[in-house]
Amino acid sequence: MLAQIEQQVGVESVEVDRRGEFLRVDAGGPENVAAVIAQLYELGFAAERTTDSGAERQWYRRDDVGELSREEAAVIARRVVLAFARAHDLPADRADTLADLVAIALHRCFVTNAVNASSPLGTLHGECGRAVKEATRAQLGAARASELGKAIEADLAAGRSSKPG
């Protein structure tokens, strides 16, 4: 979606905040701002003009979104795998390796599955759960890999903040 808005006449830059909740669009003039707001409404988003820079937010441009997805995947993987490892008495080194593997699978899931405003809520949950299950089957066996995949799905469904802790 960032790329689609960037292509609009008069748009100078588009960024998304760390949580993916806000877009910051720099447009050349008032007519351009109105056109961007209209386009966002057409895409199913609320939009308004503001002078609030959201300075407390960290902003990402289109080329940075993959890195944001990688960061999000690592945070989710660490959180879920650590709980899974404790529940299954896995040694710390095995948990770390498993968390890295899960982060890679989640990142791949995030960047290969297109989601937009018209996508049903939770579109990625099942896809990412299955991706984690497949990625960890050789290390955990079918039953535990399935359990870990379901734990990932549940975590994504809970909509937790990406901030650790």
Helical H runs in 28-91?
A: 30-42, 65-87
Number of structural domains, the chain?
A: 2
Same domain, 119 and 153: yes
Same domain, 25 and 40: yes
pLDDT at site 113: 78
Question: What are the 10-residue block averages of pLDDT along the chain, 165 residues in total?
Answer: 72 73 76 80 74 60 62 91 95 94 92 68 85 96 97 86 43
Same domain, 78 and 95: yes
pLDDT at site 19: 63
pLDDT at site 163: 44
Reported pTM: 0.61
Provide the residue range defining the domain that includes 31. 2-57
Q: What is the dihedral sign for C-alpha 68, 52, 27, 46? A: positive
Beta strands of 38-150 (E only): which ranges? 59-61
Same domain, 143 and 69: yes
Contact 102, 136 (CB under 8 A): yes
Residue 164 lies in a domain: no
Which of 12, 39, 57 delimits the end of a domain? 57
Same domain, 73 and 49: no
pLDDT at site 159: 72
Which of 57, 77, 104 delimits the end of a domain? 57
pLDDT at site 162: 46
What do you get for the CA distance between the two ends of the chain, in Å?
Answer: 30
